[in-house]
Amino acid sequence: MAVLKCGRFDLDLERPRIMAIINTTPDSFSGDGLGHDLDAALRRCENAVAAGAHILDIGGESTRPGSESVSEQEELDRVIPLVERLADWPVPVSIDTVKPAVMRASLAAGASLINDINGFRTPGAVEAVRDSDAALCVMHMQGEPRSMQAAPRYDDVVGEVIDFLLHQVHALEVQGVARARILLDPGFGFGKTLEHNLALMRALDRFLATGYPLLIGVSRKSMLGAITGRGVDERTTASVAAALVAIERGARIVRVHDVAATRDAVAVWEAVRFGAS
């Protein structure tokens, strides 16, 4: 049985888990940013858990293509009050950040997972998380959000992404981070063309062969718009389909905006795979 050490939680990954996206930014690409409205954010979290979310992923800085970084203090002001309110909830709280200070403050406030799109490359990031018991999601990104989609290029996108992830995992493990705390994310849409993204999805078995569980996030992304021709607010069906493709190919956690729709689809998949319960 695959178990992820995730702070005070031992998360069973035998069956797929749903991570709900909770944006506290005013400029989310998906149009669901909550800004500094703590009550609205708490309601979003309550609704996500009621709809079937197993993990809440809190983000205080937009990472959409073309976005600019926000100050450390602004990000702290956006996320820490929410983490503090969620600290005793019965689901793990994840923080989506690249900043070591935000990682440290979030862990102190009760976060159980650090989800870093920069793969813990920022100076001080490894040191910020190594002595905690939080789970760590190592993601691949070519470039940085403001320019990553300008002209992404690879000689071998699958091999290069796997090599990067394993290099960053090694950097964590030599600092004493237990293997049971680590997740991998190929970084769909982060410095990748549509063809790069499709190649990564087709090759998820190669990522699984590393022995680390996979977190996959494709919800509402432009790759789905390119495939379907639909705008960001019309991609629920495509997002659910992509999540199921990822799960069928071995993903253990899917990061989504549309929790209820994903929950229903996963329930059907599980009934076929494991039998009705």
Residues carrying an active site annotation: 221, 255
Q: What is the DSSP string of 49-87?
A: HHHT-SEEEEESS--STTPPP--HHHHHHHHHHHHHHHT
Question: Cα-Cα-Cα-Cα dihedral of 34, 234, 47, 263, to 10°?
Answer: -140
> Per DSSP, what are the bridge partners of residue 95?
58, 114
3-state secondary structure of 139: strand
Half-sphere exposure of residue 58: CA atoms within 13 angstroms, side-chain side: 35
**Cα–Cα–Cα angle for 188, 15, 140, nearest 5°?**
20
Residue environment code for 157-193, b if the CB has 16+ CB neighbours within 10 A, otherwise e: bbeebbebbeebbebbeeeebeeebbbbbbbbbbbbb
Distance between CA atoms of residues 136 and 255, nearest Å: 14
